[in-house]
Amino acid sequence: MKSGKEGCGCVCDKPAPKFPEQVTGMYILARSLKMMGVENVYGLVGIPITEAAYIIQGEGIRFVGFRHEQQAGMAAATDGYVSGKPGVFMTVSSLGFMNGLTATANATVNCYPVVQISGSSVREPIDLEQGTYEGLDQLNVAKPVVKAAYRVLKAEDIPTGVVRAFRAAASGRPGGVYLDITTPALGEIVDRDKAEALLKDVPVDIAPAMLPAPEAVERAAKLLAGARKPAFLLGKGAAYARVEDLVKELVDKTGIPYYPMSMAKGLLPDNGPLSALSVRSTIMEQSDVVVLIGARLNWLLSRGHGKWNPDGQFVQLDIDPQEIDCNRHIAAPVVGDLRSSLRALIDKLPAKEGLSMDPAWVPGLQKESAEKNAKFAERLAPQTVPMNHWSALSAAKKVLEANPDVILVNEGANTLDDCRDSIDMFLPRHRIDCATWAIMGMSMGSAVGAAVATGKSVCAIVGDSAFGFSGMDFSTICRFRLPVTVCVFNNGGIYNGIGEPLDKTSDPAPTTLDVNARYDKLGEAFGARTYYVTTPAEYEAALKEAIESKAPALIDVQLAADAGKESGHIGYLNPAPLIDIKV
């Protein structure tokens, strides 16, 4: 590291530390992150965190610089989800902080462990509202949308702030944590000896086991053993908790079918004999006992009402006691970490012969699955040109199912829904999507985070509208030479490209983008491999080649403008229509 500067020379006449005897808060921050075992930090620099990022890089931590803070946050959140350790990202004050906060809020909703560290301006003029550079009370802005928020005002408190943030992000139900470090704290000069003394205690086990109560496990085992038509419902909490070994043991021991939520696909093979992926409605309507394993009974599951068997009962394995009963009464809650709870439940359950499962239940589901799968295959079979989502996905399906180790990132409306239904997953934590909030604008960040955290190849299948939110960060994929292939499904609009304005205007309709846009040319600007494909055969060849290259690639997948319908599979969530719009 270079020696301390002579002073900044501006009107503030800031003293500079005497290096190496003295360091600053930024150095203490970098060393604290190193102490926590952080390998990657995502972010976007500027006042007051630029030098901190350099020092972090100097400590041997990878610093992945982005073009938009929201994407840095999505990357950190995905890193946290796939690695099991809190992801970290850094933002500048005011707008940079706010841009990043959307990702931290999204992480909180999705139970991804992430720590957003933001520089903030000097406190006094903020609190007196005197008008200062990027002045914003960031701590209080963050609080309502994050799991926890802390502010550090002195350099000596930085290690404590970091440890508290990491514990809050990873322990119990994981979530997004905001750590505010003021400019004076970042720049505060501290004697090196004192700084090193602050850093000597390495925290142990930031997410300790939480054992379930034995009577809760017993109640759950009894209910399940007595069930006639039981089912397991797997959520991304189980994927995050890395309990695929125990879920397999549970399924093998009981022979009970499993249904994976979107990001739990691949926890067990989607096409296994006990996979109930294609018979969700039957599970909802007919199961008498459903075991929720790291899944919430939220809007994605009709909050436990609607189609659900009104007489059915639930077992819920979750780490968060407040989740229980939030929508529907849970007959047998098991509150604890999934590894402990599953171990205890498996040990308490009788062998298959001791279960009361109706012998016709599983064969019935298997028969129905086979029929549904055959019907679905008919949808994917026609090699329609110009392509629609199905004919395009038939090509992606062939390549991705032959490469199950490639992580699939997926967002859009029809592009999301149809891709989820089409492509089977075989490995845990290999599908990352818009998740619980069903948001748009996560794919470039999540693709970077998945590639950086795992070293694996990533394929992002995204709608043209979805791509627009984060497209500039395709350049981040290119700068870091990541093995990421981005496929833009271009049907020229939000939902599709056939919207017609109601009034006499030459402006495009609110849903219309540009079906003739050549997204592949964007890839050229940043030195990526690029492809423009118009048929399933071309797409299949391009995707195969792009993945094999292990280099950044952008494929413009040209669809017909009328492919796709408004809001994909969730059109029912729109307010009651007044007018008939053509989308």
Q: Looking at the DSSP assignment, which residues form a beta bridge with residue 116?
A: 89, 178
H helix or E strand, kind and range, residue 75 = helix 69-83
Question: At closest approach, how far in Å is the CB of 150 from ligand ADP?
Answer: 22
* Residue closest to ligand ADP (Cβ): 237
> In this structure, are residues 237 and 295 in contact, taking their beta carbons and an 8 Å threshold?
yes
By a kind-dependent CB cut-off of 5 to 8 A, residue 464 interacts, out of ligand ADP, Mg ion, none, with Mg ion
Question: At closest approach, how far in Å is the CB of 110 from ligand ADP?
Answer: 6
What is the length of the chain? Answer: 583
Of the pair 184, 468, the CB lying nearest Mg ion is at: 468
Of the pair 50, 384, the CB lying nearest Mg ion is at: 384
Of the pair 90, 561, the CB lying nearest Mg ion is at: 561
By a kind-dependent CB cut-off of 5 to 8 A, residue 166 interacts, out of ligand ADP, Mg ion, none, with none
Of the pair 326, 517, the CB lying nearest Mg ion is at: 517
Of the pair 172, 404, the CB lying nearest ligand ADP is at: 172
Measured CA to CA, the distance from residue 103 to residue 109 in angstroms comes to: 10
Of the pair 289, 561, the CB lying nearest Mg ion is at: 561
- Secondary structure of residue 43 in the 3-state scheme: strand
Measured CA to CA, the distance from residue 242 to residue 32 in angstroms comes to: 27
Measured CA to CA, the distance from residue 26 to residue 183 in angstroms comes to: 10
Of the pair 235, 412, the CB lying nearest Mg ion is at: 412
Question: At closest approach, how far in Å is the CB of 328 from Mg ion?
Answer: 35
458-463: strand order across its sheet: 431-433, 407-411, 458-463, 484-490, 553-558, 529-533
Measured CA to CA, the distance from residue 528 to residue 192 in angstroms comes to: 44
What's the gap between Cα 137 and its chain centre?
Answer: 27
E-only strand ranges, 235-356: 258-260, 289-293, 313-318, 332-335
Of the pair 237, 269, the CB lying nearest ligand ADP is at: 237
Question: At closest approach, how far in Å is the CB of 111 from ligand ADP?
Answer: 5
By a kind-dependent CB cut-off of 5 to 8 A, residue 319 interacts, out of ligand ADP, Mg ion, none, with ligand ADP
For 161, residues 6+ apart whose C-beta sits below 8 A from its C-beta are: 150, 151, 152, 179, 181
The neighbour count for residue 366, using CB atoms within 10 Å, is 16
- Secondary structure of residue 154 in the 3-state scheme: coil
Measured CA to CA, the distance from residue 100 to residue 286 in angstroms comes to: 43
Of the pair 183, 414, the CB lying nearest Mg ion is at: 414
By a kind-dependent CB cut-off of 5 to 8 A, residue 270 interacts, out of Mg ion, ligand ADP, none, with none
By a kind-dependent CB cut-off of 5 to 8 A, residue 71 interacts, out of ligand ADP, Mg ion, none, with none
Question: At closest approach, how far in Å is the CB of 407 from ligand ADP?
Answer: 17
By a kind-dependent CB cut-off of 5 to 8 A, residue 328 interacts, out of Mg ion, ligand ADP, none, with none
By a kind-dependent CB cut-off of 5 to 8 A, residue 261 interacts, out of Mg ion, ligand ADP, none, with ligand ADP
E-only strand ranges, 235-382: 258-260, 289-293, 313-318, 332-335
By a kind-dependent CB cut-off of 5 to 8 A, residue 180 interacts, out of Mg ion, ligand ADP, none, with none
Question: At closest approach, how far in Å is the CB of 570 from Mg ion?
Answer: 15
Of the pair 120, 410, the CB lying nearest Mg ion is at: 410
Question: At closest approach, how far in Å is the CB of 86 from ligand ADP?
Answer: 13
By a kind-dependent CB cut-off of 5 to 8 A, residue 337 interacts, out of Mg ion, ligand ADP, none, with ligand ADP
> In this structure, are residues 399 and 553 in contact, taking their beta carbons and an 8 Å threshold?
no
Question: At closest approach, how far in Å is the CB of 499 from Mg ion?
Answer: 11
Question: At closest approach, how far in Å is the CB of 493 from Mg ion?
Answer: 5
Question: At closest approach, how far in Å is the CB of 298 from ligand ADP?
Answer: 6
By a kind-dependent CB cut-off of 5 to 8 A, residue 112 interacts, out of ligand ADP, Mg ion, none, with none
Measured CA to CA, the distance from residue 474 to residue 476 in angstroms comes to: 5
For 411, residues 6+ apart whose C-beta sits below 8 A from its C-beta are: 433, 434, 439, 440, 441, 442, 443, 460, 462, 463, 466
Task: Catalog residues that contact Mg ion under the rule CB under 5 A.
Answer: 463-465, 491
Task: Catalog residues that contact ligand ADP under the rule CB under 6 A.
Answer: 110-111, 173-174, 235-237, 240-241, 261, 263-264, 294-296, 298, 300, 318-320, 323, 337-338, 436
> In this structure, are residues 135 and 121 in contact, taking their beta carbons and an 8 Å threshold?
yes
